[in-house]
Every structure is written in C-alpha cells, then in structure tokens.
A and B are shown apart, each in its own frame.
Chain A
Amino acid sequence: MATIDYPLQEPQALTPEFSFSETLYKWVATVDHKRLGLMYVVSALFFFVVAGIMASVIRLQLAAPLNHIVDPDTYNRLFTMHGTTMIFLVGMPMVAGFSNYLVPLMIGTRDMAFPRLNAFGFWIFLLGGFLLYFSYIGGGGLSGAGSAPDMGWFAYAPLTEKAFSRGAAADYWALGVLVSGLGSIASAINVVATTLCMRCPGMTLSRMPMFVWVMLVDSWLIIVALPPLSAAQIMLELDRHLGANFFDTQSGGSAVLWQHMFWIFGHPEVYILIFPAFAILSEVIPIFSRKPLFGRPAMVGAVVAIGFISLGVWAHHMFCVGMTSWSNTFFAASSMLVGVPTGIKIFNWTATMYGGKLKMETPLLFCIGFLLQFLVAGLTGIMLAVAPFDWQLHDSYFVVAHFHFTLVGGLVFGLFAGIYYWFPKVTGKLLDEKLGKWHFWLFCVGFNLTFIPLHWVGMLGMPRRTFTYFPGRGWETWNLIASIGVLFQTAGILVFVWNLLKSSLRGVQAPDDPWDAWTLEWATSSPPAEYNFEKLPVVRSSRPLWDLKHPNDPDWKFE
C-alpha cells in the first residue's frame, strides 16, 4: 500500500512581521481557539515549573530527619501551594488547553461554539491563579506580612475558619480557586457545545475521535463536579466574612459537611485530571502501533461509565471520619467498581499495541511509561478502596505515593506524550528526538526513585503533611532515596524545557503530517491557519486520513 505524499506547505507563521505591541494585542484580544489553547498550555507549564520547585524544596526538607531547611509554617505553605497549583493551575488548564486546541481541529470545524466565552474562561483562570499567588504578598492582610495559605489543598474546615486561619490567606485560596473554577466551567460548557453542535458533515458520534469522546465526558464531569466545590468555597467565605456558621463547630456546624462537599467535587476531579492522559493515549498509541484503537465501543463505554460511577465514590476519602459500616461498605464497593472500566482501558491500549509495529519514539515511550505506572496507581487505588486496609493507609505517605503515581506517572507522562506528538502541529517544528529520549529516561527513573519508596514509608506509619520526622522509625533511607530521585526528575524537566526552547527556535521543519496519522488535525497545515480548514472536511469513518491514504482498504467499509 502506498502512503500518500502530502504537498509540503509553507507553514503560515502565526505572527508575520508585527511589532511587539501589535503581537501582544493579537494574543490578548484573541478569541481563536488555537491561541487560547496554547496560552492555557503555556501558563500551565509555567505553573508546573513553579509548583515543581516547591516540591523540590519539600523533598530537600524531608531528605533527612529533623531537617531545618524551612520552618514548619513555610513547609505547610509549600505543600498547600504545591497541591493547589498542580491541581487547579496545572491540571485544569491542561484539560482546557488540550481540548481547546485540538477538539475543533479533530472534529473539522473552524472554532469553538462560543469563542468569546472561551477567551473569558482563559483570562479568568489566569486571574484566579494570580489571585492565589498574590497571597504571598497580601495573605497576612494588606497591612501585615504576606503569607500563603497553609491548610492543605483540600482545606479541611474548621482549620480554615477565622479562629484557626487568621489573616487573608484562606480567602485568597478560596477566591482564587473559585474564580479559576468559573473559567473551567466556562471552558467545559464550550467543549460540550462544540462537540455536540459543530462536527463536520459525516462525523457522527460513533466516528468521533476517541480524544474528543474523552474530552466530552471530561467536560461533563467538570460541569457537574465543580459547583460543589464552588458552593463549599462560597459557604466558607460566608463563614469567614459574614459570620455564618456552616463549618463553625461551636455553633453546631459540621466539619464533615465540608469534607462531603469537597470530595463530591474532589473525587470526580481526579478523573477530570487523568482524562486528558486517557485522551492522548487513545490517539498516540494507535498511530505509533499502526493499528486502530482496539475495542472502540468498549473504550467509549468505559469512559462514559467512569463519567457516571465516579460521581458516587467520593466518601472513600472519608473512611476514617466515623461513617456507618453500611456507608463504608457502599463506598468501598463503588470505588472498586470504578476500577473495572479503568482496567478495560488499560487492556484495550495494550491490545492496540499487540500485533502492531511499534515505533519506539518519545511519544510512545511516555505512553508505555504511563501504562505501567498507571497500572500500579490503579492497583494501589484498589488497596485504598478496601476500607479496612485504607484505615491503615489513609493520610499516610502511601496515599501520597498512590496519587503521584496517577497524576505524575499517569497524567504528566500522558501530557508529555501529547506535547511531543502535537508539538509539530502547533509550531511546525519537530521536537528533538534524542533530547526527548533523555527527557523520558531521566524523568522516568527519577519519578520511580522518588515515589516507589514513599509507598514503603507509608506502610511504616509515616503520615503525610509532616514538615519533619524523628529518626528511628525506619523512614530515613527511603526518604533519602525519594529525595535523590528529585535530582533526576529535575534534570529531565530541564532537558524538556531546553528541548522546547531549542526546537521551537531552531528545530527541524515538520511536514503537515509527520506521524502518518489518521485524524483530521493532520489534514491541515502546521501550524494551522486561523480558519483551520480552507474547506470543511466531510468524513465517513473514524479514521478519515486512513481512508484517504488507503483508498483500496478504507475504514468505512467495515462500519
């Protein structure tokens, strides 16, 4: 079978010959989904580096027992800001960024359904991020010294009430996250409307790329799961500023109510965060295995199932708050059941690779890293769902290890795969493959070195969120190894940043379709013109470019 040669196009520069202020204006005032998507991803990468530096300081402090590199308050602020930043200012904008950039291209349309709402979502997200970080200046009240919030990213009441968190740090946390959440909801409604209403002719739901499907369900989860957090934050602000009693235990309020509302948001949230990785894998693995996604209907079913079951598992974060044995059993059962569709996804990705011709390039390496690490994360998740086991593991370093395996070993690896895969589409340049391999191996070794030992210290009884620990409980060696892993991770990230800068400035020109791919974004130029497609495409199968490249063996014959 012959592959079709694409007429190599002159890449259309996004900003041809404009002065600085004109360029700035173009970016600030833009409503183009690609520019907004890019701005989301770039600001998320910025916050990723900031929160990563915080993590390094945390590991430096914990490298040895009774370390005094930072004082307790500083340490507590570091892990609070690290967690909050990674979740709300890295994970969430990555969801919005990837879906903004890619969904319209993949479904063959010229923009999102509501371009101006899109711009609003981005800027209000950024405002929320700045508001959160402004706490370092204004957190102690404008007259006092600044202080960031120090109550953990899930901000359990009553620690956040006026009596226990004086100053304004908790307010910056609540308002900053509330405001950036508005942006996420705006962007999610936009993705749903775009997906349901803007598909090109012939693209039925069953032919939609898997990426778009996952992002559709992801947006659904954002729409139904973020308001509980917003409600809790509004209540907290009412408590703090109008003297309301929602979480004031002295006046009969309930500290457990906050936990329920937080986790009704919080558990779907972890699926919201991991879904972009699911979406990316579902595109990258088939292309690099040269086979269609195995079991597409099952994959769609699994992601939709997660989109509903994950709404009913939240209280597995609360097995220790003294719920009845019936509630504990129910939430243990539902939490384990949500593992089934997740398992189906891992099996199908593996089956996609089975029998293929695996091109072992950086995007696929990150996908394989994802598969093995996310498998571990899923299995430790099952352990945490077994409530009696969780009574021991809850809030220990085991949990820290578990969710870093999902969010770093899973999400971040997936995002790297996505960045290496779509970078040529976005910039018209290829990322350096050699640097990419260095990035992968350094980061993979460092990540496992850091987070595998944390499982052990958790089982040896080390609670999370402790600024220091005493020697003699068997935690020292593992903590030291974990801290050494950070060096490798840092080196990996430095290679990655260097690769991004070098390749976008002096990289090799990429053809429009460097990976010989099958979805519509590769049918247009790299980078795509503002209008995406000269002529809107019409499709007949889920792999329109496969049909095009294999006219004798098109996919639509099998549908």
Chain B
Amino acid sequence: MLNLLLQVQVPGVPERRITNIFNAATTPADAERQAAYLTLAVCAAIFVVVGGLIVYTVWRFRRKPGDDTHQEPPQVYGSNQIEAAWTVIPILIVFVLIGVSARVIASVQNASPPAKALKIRVVGHQWWWEIQYPDYHFTTANEIHVPATPDGSQATYLELTSADVNHSFWLPELGGKTDLIANRINYTWIDPKQPGAYVGNCAQYCGTEHAQMLLRVIADKPEDFKTWTKNQQKLAADDPQVAQARDAFGGLACVNCHMIRGTPAVGRFGPDLTHLMSRQTIGAGVLVNDKKGLRDWVNDPQDSKPGCFMPSMKLTDGELDQVVSYLQSLK
C-alpha cells in the first residue's frame, strides 16, 4: 500500500522525489547528518532506559485484585545519592552533545568560500524565488543551477535576502535551512557531489501561497553547467517563426511585470522569463513546464495557485495560443 501511494502520479504535477534529510548530498548536509545520527543514538538509548523503567515500574507495582488496600507501602522520601546520580549523568551527556553541536556549527557556519567558488544571490518573493548570478550577469527564477563535482571542489555560496516577508531556503538533501529576511543578508553554501535535481520548499510561513513556493536545485556536471550559463547569458531567442506571437505578447500586460531580455518586456515584479523553457517547472514548482502546463498557467494562475499575484488576464483562446507559442520559443 505504501508503494502504491508513493507512486501515484497526478497529471500535470511535476515528478517529485523523496527528500529525506538523511540522504545527504553535500558536505554541510553530511555534517548535519553525523550530528543527527549521534543525537538520535543518544536519545534512543535514553528513551529505552527511562521508558523501560517507567513501564517496568507501572507493571511491577500496579495494584492487583486481592491486594490489601489498607496497608500503605513503605514511605520513602528520597535519596541524595540517587538525585546526584541522575543530575550528573544527564549533565555529562549534555556536555557531549554541546561539544558535537559546537564543532558542527563551526564547520558549517565558519567555512570561508574558496576563491573560485560560485556566488549566487537568492531573493525571496511572495511566492517565488529570484536567482541572480552576479558573476555571469543574468537573473533567473525558481531553479538554481550549480556545478556538481564528486570531490566538492566547486562549492556554491548563496547570499540570501528577501524582497518582502521572511522566507526560508531549504532543500533537505542539500542541508539545513537558512532564512531569507529583508534588510539583511544571510549566507549558506552547498557542494552537491552527484548531478541531479533536488527539491525543496520555502520553510518559513510567508503568506497565502507558502505551501506552493517550491525550490529546485539542479546540479550539473561542470561542462553542462558551463553550457547552461552560456545560454542564460544570451538575450532572448528571437525565433522568426513566432514573430507574430511575439508582437502579440508585447501588446499584452505581461510585459509590465516580466523581464525578457532583449525585448520591450522589462518588468521586474515577476520572474525573469528570458530563458523560460530552460526550466523544468513553472509557478515556483507548481506545474510541469510543457505546453499544457504553460497554457493552464497563463490562462488562470489562480486556478493552480490561488492567491498568487499573477492575475488571470482573461485572454481569448487565440491570444492564449500566441502567448504560449511565444513563451515556448524562449529556449
């Protein structure tokens, strides 16, 4: 039954993966996993001992039918030795855990970026992610491409901030959370060892659509990453086959909020669409980025993401076809 449920695929919903925090794919996530395993082991041992003692006490000293109800048991008031024992032992355990915490905190938080580390700036918005690559001078949204090297030699350093309310950056396989807070810059770093797509959510409640503010990190082989950045740096594709559709798009209100570099669309309120079709999902991970997904989204974003700031433009079927075919040309 479990397998059955796990394999359910809802049409139009992007394929997901299990995001277990113990599937550590980066150095910080691995350090956190080590600390977690130790803590879990200690806590499990305490649970077995103390829980067992409670259950044993209840079982052994429960009043059974036929017991003498008038005779009171011996009145024991306490014992200083026992009190001392169960004060000192927990303190010792706590000190071990403090030591482990301190070491892992320092190793993750105080790591200084190597000179050739990739720098990315992530800006949280109500309910999508703006991703800037300052070294490459382009901006994208919701999907972060980073290089993956088996030895972790190409780490990625992320500067996190917010344009509005608090958000939190969390991809369980890549490491713990770091909040995105306006008027403040936080840092975190990842160094995925295996190429692949990693999934996460905004982890700090940020308003209506907090639940549908998903985040993807796509770890590429270094050469694929290079190709990808080259493509992202280009201006938007200008496919003559969709010239008519492009002109139609330029006449709609879309251009007020969205940026398509190299075209009159210079809005900054919504995600940058210059290379929209290089992304796997749209609507911050709500729909698959294919023709059907795009059409559904443009037709009425409120249908798949009620409350989001993109309104339904009430386009006619013809306009919708043109917008979708133009967007699909933005490779």
Task: Give the B-binding residues of A (Cβ under 8 A).
Answer: 1-3, 65-66, 71-73, 76, 150-152, 156, 158-159, 163-164, 249-250, 252-256, 289-292, 294-298, 320-322, 324-325, 328-329, 332-333, 336-337, 339-340, 343-344, 346-348, 350-351, 353-360, 368, 371-372, 375-376, 379-380, 382-383, 385-396, 459-474, 476-477, 480, 550, 553, 558
Contacts and interface: CB of A to CB of B under 8 A. Distances in A.
B100 interface: yes
A253 B187 contact: no
A391 B86 contact: no
Contacts of A469: 211
Contact of A255 (B54, B82, B181): B181
Nearest to B169: A320
A45 B219 CA distance: 52
A463 B166 CA distance: 14
A239 to B, nearest CB: 14
Given A249-B183, A321-B186, A358-B63, A391 B176 contact: yes
Given A390-B176, A474-B6, A255 B183 contact: yes
Interface string B1-22: 1100111111001111111111
Closest 8 CB pairs of A and B: A391-B176, A472-B16, A466-B211, A461-B19, A322-B186, A249-B182, A295-B78, A461-B172
B182 A358 contact: no
Contact of A472 (B17, B31, B97, B164): B17
A388 B108 contact: yes
A356 B166 contact: no
B6 A472 contact: yes
Contacts of A375: 47, 50-51, 54
A328 B105 contact: yes
Contacts of A357: 61, 63, 67, 72-73
B269 to A, nearest CB: 14
A321 B183 CA distance: 12
Contact of B78 (A290, A294, A396): A294
Contacts of B82: 295, 351
Given A340-B90, A383-B36, A294 B54 contact: no
B162 to A, nearest CB: 8
B17 A391 contact: no
B47 A320 contact: no
Contact of A1 (B57, B72, B106): B72
Interface stretch (B134-142, B194-202, B245-253, B256-264): B194-202
Tell which of A328, A351, A472, A473 has the most Cβ of chain B within 10 Å.
Answer: A472
Given A322-B184, A466-B201, A468-B211, A297 B17 contact: no
Contact of B57 (A76, A350, A476, A550): A350
Tell which of A249, A324, A390 has the most Cβ of chain B within 10 Å.
Answer: A249
9 contacts: A72-B209, A72-B307, A73-B307, A152-B205, A339-B90, A347-B86, A360-B62, A375-B51, A382-B39
Nearest to B78: A295
B21 A459 contact: yes
Interface in B202-245: 202-212, 214
B105 A325 contact: yes
A375 B54 CA distance: 10
B10 A471 contact: yes
Tell which of B10, B32, B55, B166 has the most Cβ of chain A within 10 Å.
Answer: B166
A340 B306 CA distance: 47
B210 to A, nearest CB: 6
B192 interface: no
Contacts of A151: 205, 207
A159 B168 CA distance: 14
A62 to B, nearest CB: 10
A512 to B, nearest CB: 19
Contacts of A252: 183
> Would you call the interface of chain B mostly helix, strand, loop, or mixed?
mixed
B39 A386 contact: yes
B183 A350 contact: no
Given A66-B13, A156-B205, 17 more contacts: A72-B211, A158-B165, A164-B165, A249-B183, A253-B183, A254-B183, A296-B78, A336-B98, A344-B86, A346-B50, A354-B57, A358-B58, A387-B104, A390-B176, A394-B176, A459-B21, A466-B210
A394 B184 contact: no
Given A376-B47, A472-B17, A322 B187 contact: yes
Contacts of A464: 205
A383 B70 CA distance: 45
B165 A360 contact: no
Contacts of A480: 5
Given A158-B164, A467-B211, A368 B203 contact: no
Nearest to A318: B179
A289 B61 contact: yes
A474 B50 CA distance: 31
B61 A356 contact: yes
Tell which of B1, B7, B53, B181 has the most Cβ of chain A within 10 Å.
Answer: B181
A329 B105 contact: yes
Nearest to B70: A3
A346 B70 CA distance: 28
Nearest to B38: A386
A255 B166 contact: yes
A334 B6 CA distance: 40
A374 B36 CA distance: 21
B176 A255 contact: no
A354 B60 CA distance: 8
A358 B1 CA distance: 42
Contacts of A340: 87, 90-91, 94
Contact of B203 (A2, A395, A460, A468): A395
B295 interface: no
Tell which of B47, B57, B91, B187 has the most Cβ of chain A within 10 Å.
Answer: B57
A152 B183 CA distance: 22
Contacts of A353: 57-58, 61
A386 B100 contact: yes
B6 A389 contact: no
B317 interface: no
B8 A383 contact: no
A391 B204 CA distance: 12
B101 A388 contact: yes
A439 to B, nearest CB: 19
B75 interface: yes
A320 B179 contact: yes
B40 interface: yes
Interface string B111-125: 000000000000000
A417 to B, nearest CB: 14
